[in-house]
Amino acid sequence: MMKNEPVVEVRDLVVQRGRVRAIRDLSFSMPAGEVTGLLGPSGCGKSTLMRAVVGVQVLTSGTVEVLGLPAGDRRLRDRVGYVTQAPSVYDDLTVTENLRFFCRVLGAPAGEVDRCIAAVDLGSRREQVVSRLSGGQRSRVSLAVALLGSPELLVLDEPTVGLDPVLRRDLWAMFRELAAGGTGVLVSSHVMDEAERCDRLLLMRDGALLAEEAPQELLQRTGTEDVESAFLSLVDQAREAA
Amino acid sequence: MSPRITGAVAVRVLIQLRRDRRTLAMLLALPCLVLTLLWWMFDGPAGGPGFSTLGPALLALIPFVVMFLVTSVTTLRERSTGTLERLLAMPTGKGDFLGGYALAFGLVATVQSVLAVLLSHWVLDLQVAGPVWMLVVVAVVDAVLGTALGLFVSAFARTEFQAVQFMPLLVIPQILLCGLFVPRDQMPRVLEAVSNVLPLSYAVDAMTGVATSTGSGLGGVDASVWSDILVVVGFTLAGLALGAVTLRRRTA
């Protein structure tokens, strides 16, 4: 995959969930080889947008393309890794059993199991049943599953919530490393300070994008010191314009 | 469908069951306990004809009910924890998911039925006219029917409480109308007509057929047993097909 070739291309996306318009006419493109951060307060539509990218969300209108194919296409199913907010792993299986199962489903080489367990630093817990792990460890098992088979696009919904700062740093280092290797990484967070670790930011509020740019550009444009203030200044600007 | 993925799902379900020792013990021991209770109630050590009349119906009913419950709760858990969504975002076919479950629970049902049949025939002295192994065949078919219906109804429950409530709704009427209490041809005509479209009626008829008749056909049973089995298989396939419809890759 060429660097800067879009891995994700979202055009005029609208998603209605029940009575709520979760995504209101949103467009962006995401290049490979970068870590794109999707930031915004809880409830702003981040998860819905990620579900649309993975192809598990019913779209109201607009298009989502991933690696040049419609999101959710059969051919994408082993090329996109996805971590939801709830750790989607089996509580009553051990770490290794979980990984081994999903590895067989993906048809990835068996060696992937050990590699991915090591990548999330769960080597010492590998024979433990997931229900006995802490919340943070569980979400790392879920992350390890998403890493199986080295997918070309990783969609990670708040993968670092509740994690120890050291581990959080290590995981971000891993995302950067994966991106450097050409993987597209889309990470959501409601913690604005994680923004600085991204190559590009998508700031989201009420189902729409407030900004789509590199962290430095964002700070310069808004004349602020940190992403949180930039976010507030953009919200104020939008209010004044309305 | 891919044999690799179907097999992976089946093996995983079995590993989960093995870890849940209490459930596994109940799956295997409960049918035997219920049958023993029935035998004791009717015949007791003194002996009598009651157990042999009702035993076959129970042998058909138990695997169906147990597998219905186990399957509806486990698949509901897959839906609510997000593992189902994850699997469907991967190369898993709906057939792989359903087939894997049917395979794993079919296997458990085989062990369960073999134990129940061995106990009934050799310990509790159940009179069986046809070949004893045919009782196991019918029991496994019934169990897979329970699995198929359980998979289907799990789509309509949001909580495990609701899933369990489907049992009085869908299973108890079938138990009442399957001929266990009143022979089906002696029921009011409307109820007889209803019982004619319920799968458990055919399951019980097949089991009773094996126990009370012999034939020169396949498996040494009357041809009507096979036609009953075919009806049950038809309901199972319909249940799996409806279940497949409820497994959605995209949700709102």
Closest-CA distance of chain A to residue B166, Å: 25
Q: Would you place residue A1 in the very low, low, confident or very high pLDDT band (cuts 50, 70, 90)? A: very low
- Single out the residue of A180, A46, A172 nearest to residue A120, CA to CA: A172
For residues A12 and A28, what is the distance between their CA atoms, to the nearest angstrom?
9
Query: A21-53 burial, b for 16+ CB within 10 Å, e for fewer?
Result: bbbeebebebbbbbbbbbbbeeebbbbbbbbbb
Q: How far apart are CA A116 and CA A96, in angstroms?
A: 10
* Pairwise CB contact (< 8 Å): A58 & B252: yes
Q: Choose from B81, B86, B97, B101 for mutation: most chain A CBs within 10 A.
A: B86
Give the Cα separation of B186 and B127 in Å (integer): 24
Residue B64 and residue B76 in contact, taking contact as beta carbons nearer than 8 Å: no
pLDDT of A186 higher than 80: yes
**Residue A36, strand partner residues:** A186, A200
Return the residue in B19, B81, B90 with the most chain A beta carbons within 10 A, the one to mutate for interface testing: B90
In the structure encoding, which two tokens stand for residue A239, read together?
């209010």
Task: Express as a percent the part of chain A with pLDDT over 70.
Answer: 98
Provide the pLDDT confidence category of residue B222 given band limits of 50, 70 and 90: confident
Give residue B48's pLDDT: 63
Shortest CB distance from B91 goes to which of A56, A58, A78?
A78
Q: At residue A162, what is the residue type?
A: G
Mean pLDDT of chain B: 89
Residue A2 has pLDDT above 60, yes or no: no
Q: What is the mean pLDDT of residues A206-233?
A: 90
How far apart CA B84 and CA B96 sit, in angstroms, is 12
pLDDT digits (tens, 9 = 90+) for A71-121: 989 999 999 999 998 889 999 999 999 999 999 999 999 999 999 999 998
How far, in Å, CA of A203 to CA of A215, rounded? 10
Q: Shortest Cα distance from A17 to chain B (angstroms)?
A: 6
Whose CA is closest to A184, among A214, A150, A211, A208?
A150
Cross-strand bridge partners of residue A66: A8, A69
Q: How confident is the model at residue A196 (pLDDT cuts 50, 70, 90)?
A: confident
Residues B237 and B27: their CA atoms lie apart, in Å, by: 24
Summarised one tens digit per residue, pLDDT across range A7-30 is 999 999 999 998 889 999 999 999
Q: How far apart are CA B71 and CA B65, in angstroms?
A: 10
Amino acid at the residue A194: E
The pLDDT value given to residue B215: 81
Contact B250 A104 (CB under 8 A): no
Whole-complex ipTM: 0.87
A208 CA to centre of own chain: 17
Query: Within chain B, how many helices (H) and strands (E) appear?
Result: 11, 0
CB burial of residue B187 (10 Å; 0-12, 13-18, 19+): middle
Q: What are phi and psi of B85, to 5 degrees?
A: -60, -40
E runs forming strands in A51-167: 61-66, 69-70, 80-83, 153-157
- Cβ <8 Å between B90 and A17: no
In the stretch 1-60 of chain B, residues with CB closer than 8 A to chain A read 4-5, 7-9, 11-12, 15-16, 19-20
Which of B183, B219, B189, B221 is closest to B201 using CA atoms?
A: B183
**Would residue B247 be called left, alpha or beta, if left means φ above 0 and alpha means ψ between -120 and 50 degrees?**
beta
Identity of the amino acid at A149: G
Q: What is the pLDDT of residues B31-76, one digit of tens each?
A: 999 999 988 888 766 666 678 888 899 899 988 998 899 888 888 8
Q: What are the φ and ψ backbone dihedral angles of B246, each rounded to 5 degrees?
A: -80, -10
Residue B203 pLDDT > 80: yes
Q: How far apart are CA B46 and CA A219, in angstroms?
A: 91
DSSP conformation letters of B119-187: IIIIIS----SS-HHHHHHHHHHHHHHHHHHHHHHGGG-SSHHHHHHHIIIIIHHHHHHTTSSS-GGGS
Residue B171 has pLDDT above 60, yes or no: yes
